[in-house]
Chain A
Amino acid sequence: MNDHVVELRDVSLFVPTDHGEAQLLDRISLTLARGESLAIVGESGSGKSMTLRTISRLLPDGARTTGDVVVNGRRVDQLRGSKLRAMRRSEVATVFQDPRSAINPIQRVEDFMLEAVRDARGDRAGARDAAMQLLLRMGIRDPERRMGQYPFELSGGLLQRVMIASVLLAGPDLVLADEPTTALDVTTQSDVLAITDELRQERGVALLFVTHDLDLAMAICDRVMVLYAGRVLEIASATELRTGAQHPYTRGLLASRPPLERRLESLPVIEGVPTLATEVGEGCPFFDRCAVRLDVCGSRMPEPVGDARHWVRCHRVEAEAVPSSSVLVGEGEL
């Protein structure tokens, strides 16, 4: 249990609205060991970013969480003030989507990078050297010059490298990446991801990677968690998901990817619009759009079936599972 860098146990998130409290996350559970990576995929509004924010505690005003958020064996949902700041400084770091707006525009690269480690180390010259080493590793050729520049003088790709380097500079145990490559073009994207992955494995950092790009998620992460309307529908290893996705929603997502090897007249789509977390009733959140729904789906949220490695919440899967075995592998019949 204690070798987990982060563990979420039945974490729900409630935020205040004009008409009472709205529930954005419903009993999210996940664990992540050192050096492991987990992708959280889902549509806009499915609660991907909010899941990350329950860990970094960057929540909307008046938000309330239930359940346990544990980082390095400590409940971070109970941390306040300087203890919370210490945790943010040295244990959990976040990479944001748009580096352009994430860096104070009137701050030079050097000041931005060293701000994060200001209290962690008193040695500014040493920190500066470490920062330049990291920039070099991130493929920035002339760190000395870059350190003296302002954000507007750097391209988006360079800025995101600076951002990731600054995150790694603090030596975190866990990196939360909130769509870190969405603002970048595809070639820069793969560059940045390759270097990040290398550094992650080298340093044994755990990575929680939020994206709406399913292919990207399966390519760079060990495991993938599918989120829909604030609920986890399926968790599986990347390889298993590629071949043996079980939830109708996951399968729908996988089927909607354009194939590279042949032309399609039209892409398969999942009918309907994404359900909001606040609109979900008693049943499965995907009920409205599901092509293989059962009667029970509308009235009762399915319990997880499967094992810790690969589990899914679906009455259909449950109904068709071989009773003697709880492990489900391979394509189920839909």
Chain B
Amino acid sequence: MSAQAAAVVRVPPRRGWFRALGSTLGLPGRVSSAFLLLVVIAAVLAPALTPTDPNTTNLLESFQGFSAQHWLGTDSTGRDIAARLIFGARTSLLGPAAIVVLALAISVPLGLVAAWTRGWRAGLVNRAVDVVFAVPGLLLAILTVAIFGPGLASAVSALAVAYTPFLARVVISAAEAQRRQPYVDVLTVQGVSPVRIMVRHVLRNIGPIVVGQATITFAYALLDLAALSFLGLGVQAPQSDWGVMVSDRDAVLQDHPQQVVIASVVIVLTVLALLVVGARLGGETVTRRGAARRRRKERS
């Protein structure tokens, strides 16, 4: 019986998640995610990609230009800039990743509880979020570093706290909107427990928005960590890190700008790519022209 009916009704094959993701991202998003993928691969395979050690100094070869041996030249102590850039990707991505994971671990449960309970508990969460909102992330990070000493750990934990409200707000408002959906009522009268409704149904529905916002948070965290490293409060030399590279006081900008410029460009490109991907995943359109184009497409 079912075979017969299936033969009559032709159902278009369900599109795979990969293609669905591609159409969500659009062309800018696909280019951006390809770039990010390259950065991640470079970070993971760093030792295999670089023939030279990023921390080996050779004063005889300092401030060299582009060459076959040193693709991007060398810095003031003769270290290979390309190697330091590739190894730098590790700390530069790991830091923000830790920040985002920590911030999500705090904000998602908090946001879901606030959205479900409403009443005074939601008020409490919302006011706490407001208070943390008021404190600039960098300031909090500098304060933490002043108390616990410089390093990646204190910078990461401070920024994780500072970024929690951004994610919590998004989780609360998206979950509240879902909570008002009739399907939540249906699940309730089916006797499904609130925890299960929130985790299995609401969280899965707001997933894309949360991932989008987390990606954007990742970009800002990367920027903030680079700034902290630039100030000498984050990653400590000689460990390679993009922020540290920008701040290298010996890289005399006037005479030998390549290290600073290259590291800055990589930071900017990475942040930009993250913002584009995040906005696409979160359902926003990055540019006005893009929005207009998308509207036209929907109409036709």
Contacts and interface: CB of A to CB of B under 8 A. Distances in A.
A115 B192 contact: yes
A56 B188 CA distance: 9
Contact of B189 (A58, A118, A119, A141): A58
B189 A142 contact: no
B183 interface: yes
A115 B190 contact: yes
Interface in A132-150: 141-145, 149
Listed from nearest, the 7 A-B pairs whose CB atoms lie closest are A89-B191, A88-B191, A142-B2, A85-B191, A142-B5, A116-B190, A101-B182
A58 B190 contact: no
Given A85-B191, A89-B190, A142-B1, 5 more contacts: A94-B189, A96-B185, A102-B183, A141-B2, A142-B6
15 contacts: A56-B189, A58-B185, A61-B118, A85-B193, A88-B188, A88-B191, A89-B191, A93-B189, A94-B186, A102-B182, A102-B186, A107-B201, A115-B192, A141-B5, A144-B2
Contacts of A87: 191
B243 to A, nearest CB: 40
A141 B9 CA distance: 12
Contacts of A88: 188-191
Interface string A72-93: 0000000000101111111011
A82 B181 CA distance: 23
Contacts of B190: 88-89, 93, 115-116, 170
Nearest to A170: B190
In this complex, the interface size class of chain B, counting residues with CB under 8 Å from chain A, is: 20 to 34
A215 interface: no
B128 interface: no
A182 interface: no
A58 B188 contact: yes
A169 B192 CA distance: 15
Interface in A218-249: none
Contacts of A103: 183, 186
A199 B86 CA distance: 68
Contacts of A56: 189
Interface in B185-225: 185-193, 201, 204-205
A81 to B, nearest CB: 9
A256 interface: no
A66 interface: no
B11 interface: yes
Nearest to A163: B186
**Interface SS, B side:** helix
B2 A153 contact: no
Interface class of chain A by DSSP: mixed
Looking at B2, B191, B201, the one whose CB has the most chain A CB atoms below 10 A away is B191
Contacts of A101: 181-183
Nearest to A62: B119
B190 to A, nearest CB: 4
A86 B191 contact: yes
A156 B8 CA distance: 20
Nearest to A88: B191
B186 A106 contact: no
A145 B5 contact: yes
Given A61-B118, A143-B2, A104 B189 contact: no
Given A103-B186, A141-B2, A119 B201 contact: no
Contact of B205 (A93, A106, A118, A153): A106
Nearest to B3: A142
Interface in B52-94: none
Contacts of A119: 191
Contacts of B192: 85, 115-116, 118
A94 B184 CA distance: 13
B76 to A, nearest CB: 55
Interface in B1-28: 1-2, 5-6, 11
Contacts of B189: 56, 58, 88, 92-94
Nearest to A101: B182
A98 interface: yes
A45 B181 CA distance: 20
Nearest to B201: A104
A98 B186 CA distance: 11
